[in-house]
Amino acid sequence: MAIYSDIDINLETQQDGDVLKDTGDDAIVNSLSNIVNTIQGSRRMLPEFALDIAGLLFEPMDDTTAYEVGSRLLGAIEAWDDRIIIKNINVHSDVEKSYYKITLDFSTKTSQTVRTVEYILKQG
């Protein structure tokens, strides 16, 4: 079984001052969070990295836009993290609160265990 590792997304430190390391599924969740939360173009050496939805957050909150958010998320994950298998992406728009709630179910390529993560993307 492959073990994945990454630095702690909150940059918490150990007693010796080194940054904590996340392993396994936690490292993959960090990667997904980076894909969703990074503004495309903000990484100088890799400007294509991230989920390209900034323009969609100013479009009408309807099923068409929600579908496009999900479609772009799937494409971004396939492009930037090949360690996972997407089982389901659900994008729900909440017009009153002006946000999209994304629920993502995935497993790793080395495990059949399904894990769920959620993200909130605010409009405007």
- pLDDT tens per residue across span 83-104: 899 999 999 999 899 899 999 9
Amino acid, single-letter form, for residue 112: Q
Question: How many whole angstroms separate alpha carbon 47 and alpha carbon 41?
Answer: 4
Token duo for residue 78: 């396939």
DSSP annotation of 19: B
Question: How many whole angstroms separate alpha carbon 121 and alpha carbon 88?
Answer: 18
Q: What is the mean pLDDT of each run of 10 residues along the chain (124 residues)?
A: 64 75 80 90 90 86 93 95 93 91 92 92 77
The architecture in CATH of the region 5-122 reads: Roll (3.10)
Question: How many whole angstroms separate alpha carbon 6 and alpha carbon 88?
Answer: 24
Nearest residue to 62 (alpha-carbon basis) of 105, 91, 103, 102: 91
Gyration radius from the chain CA atoms: 16
pTM above 0.85, yes or no: no
